[in-house]
Amino acid sequence: MVKVFIQEEVDMHETAKNFLEKYEKAKTIRESFIPLFEECYEYSMPQRESFYTESIGQRRDEKIFDETAVVGVQEFASRLQAGLVPNFARWADFVAGSEVPKEQREEVNNDLDEVTDYVFEVLQNSNFGQEVHESFMDLAVGTGVLHVAEGDAIHPINFSAIPLPHVVLDTGPDDKIDHIFRERKIRYSDLPILYPNGNFSPKLIQLIHNSPQTKTNILEVICKDYTKLNEDAFLSYVVEMGDKDIIESDSFKGVGSNPFICFRWSKCAGEIYGRGPLMNALSAIKTTNLTVQLVLENAQMAISGIYQLDDDGIINPDTISLVPGTVIPKAPNSAGLQPIRAAGNFDVSQFVLNDMRLNIKRALYNEMLGDPNKTPATATEIAERMADLSRQIGSAFGRLQSELVQPVLQRVIYILKKQGRIEIPTVNGRQVKVRSVSPLSQGQAKQDINNTAQWMQLVQQSFGPEVMNLLVSGEEVASHLAKKFNVPDSLIRDANERQELVRLMQQAQQLQQAQQMSAPQEGEEVVPQ
């Protein structure tokens, strides 16, 4: 038994060493991105945690002279959240997948509608709204990371936005993210709380008791298990980086079992980390800050003035104080202090600033917000802006659907099923698929509705109602439009109800025809019985 334990301990130590080596290699790749990331954070989110070591509470806004980018990132995150995952709204539906027979889909959809209501009730009562907004601010740089953990009986799900400096990513053979490393500084006393099933070495137990407030570096690793074919399977390790000990190891499988959700705005081929709209605006942001800095310096010179003097041996420029009430002595026939006209053209700087600020807003998709001094936009205007925004960020919207929206809902379903709160088939697109009904997706749906309406109108005008009735099923068109308008399934009659209604209508029509046939015709003499 001792030999087996020793061999197992050696294997785990070797596993920890291998993961630490992978972590360092992946960290080296990230190093090439850090100067660009750090510059984006400095000029737009100066209070966010830095990639570099800094003291707690340290100011980082020394380079900020213009707040356009700082406010713009906040607006970008809020606008994206309102368009993609709005608070207090159902921004997705669970519907029957391709494996469900067509004749059963209507019944399955009605059952899934109740599940959808419960899932979004859980989301609205969680901290999802706050944390996803933080992740969207990181997304402006390029990459957002969200951790979705199992909660307790009161709050079944807990969300955490992980700052990008804490995360290192790596890709696998399919060019998808298959390794997620998260480094944390944790007090020794918190280790048993965070990892209750952890296997702590005698040395670590001693440190927990003797140095509870001292912090240690912990590396959490999530990696894809390629030994499990045709299924989502992952391995989880918690490594104490000092002694290279594995505190905890686990494995899990199934759609939604990965607690980390990494999503990117856009991605260049061959790169791991995303590139966000803030990178496109970085030149304009730096130019705007420099321009405002020069304007302020020029304004200071215009207010306080610059002076020249003759060296007459009386006026001492080192001790002179230009404040109200100051008496400055000078020699007879001396020119004394002479003001120098400050250079600079404030009008030109304003032209530059207006252009640069507009470019920043355009890069962050905030120019469509409208003028706040004007009358508030109507519902139609807002819908049109959402449709315009969905067209502008079409590629990013598709990536966010696959990397954020679907994984979040799959993870929530996985946790709720594990807790026994719901019963639902696998959300994988074959049994149950996710259908987005967010405002951004509705913008695209509106375009589909317009295309359908224009086609039907063209067929009607060109070939007449006979061809229209031959080609188009009114029931199917109505059902298609109901989906595009996001009409709840509970408001639409099911197939049995529709069949019964058709039968009653046919009976009523037959009865009416019979009454008409039995009634005396005009000019016909009624013979008394």
Q: What pLDDT is stored for residue 426 in this prediction?
A: 81
Flag whether 210 is in a domain.
Answer: no
Flag whether 489 is in a domain.
Answer: yes
Digit-by-digit pLDDT tens for the chain (529 residues) are 333 334 455 566 788 888 899 999 999 999 999 999 999 999 999 888 888 766 666 777 888 899 999 999 999 999 899 888 998 888 998 988 888 888 888 788 888 888 999 999 999 999 999 999 999 999 999 999 999 999 888 889 999 999 999 999 998 888 889 899 999 999 999 999 988 888 888 888 999 899 899 999 999 999 999 888 888 899 999 998 888 889 999 999 988 999 999 999 998 888 899 999 999 999 999 999 998 888 888 777 777 676 766 666 677 767 777 666 666 677 777 666 666 666 656 567 787 888 899 999 988 988 654 554 455 566 666 666 666 766 777 778 888 998 999 999 999 999 999 998 988 888 887 888 888 888 777 766 777 777 888 888 888 888 888 877 788 877 777 777 777 776 766 677 777 777 778 788 888 888 888 887 776 655 555 555 5
Flag whether 487 is in a domain.
Answer: yes
Of the residues 322, 341, 360, the one at which a domain ends: 341
Flag whether 238 is in a domain.
Answer: no
Of the residues 341, 360, 390, the one at which a domain ends: 341
Residues 6+ apart with CB under 8 A from 249: 12, 235, 236, 237, 238
3-state secondary structure 257-270: CCCEEEEECCCCCC
Helix (H) or strand (E) holding 380: helix 379-392
State the residue range of the domain holding 323: 310-341
Q: What predicted TM-score, i.e. pTM, was given to this entire model?
A: 0.79
Q: What pLDDT is stored for residue 446 in this prediction?
A: 74
368, 385 Cβ separation under 8 angstroms:
yes
Q: How far apart are the first and last CA of the chain?
A: 112
309, 315 Cβ separation under 8 angstroms:
yes
How many domains is the chain partitioned into structurally?
2
Of the residues 292, 326, 341, the one at which a domain ends: 341
Q: What pLDDT is stored for residue 5 in this prediction?
A: 38
Task: For residues 444 and 442, give the distance between their C-alpha atoms in angstroms, rounded to a whole number.
Answer: 5
| Torsion on CA atoms 399, 402, 404, 408, rounded to nearest 10 | 170
Residue-by-residue DSSP string for 164-217 = GGGEEEEE-TTSSEEEEEEEEEEEGGGHHHH-TT----HHHHHHHHH-TT-EEE
Flag whether 261 is in a domain.
Answer: no
Task: For residues 89 and 126, give the distance between their C-alpha atoms in angstroms, rounded to a whole number.
Answer: 14
Flag whether 323 is in a domain.
Answer: yes
What does each C-alpha distance from 69 to 73, 134, 524 come to in angstroms?
Answer: 6, 16, 89
Flag whether 416 is in a domain.
Answer: no
Q: What pLDDT is stored for residue 113 in this prediction?
A: 86
User: What's the longest Cα–Cα distance across the chain?
Assistant: 145
**Tokens for 119?**
């899932």
| Alpha helix segments (H runs only) across 472-519 | 474-484, 495-518
Flag whether 389 is in a domain.
Answer: no
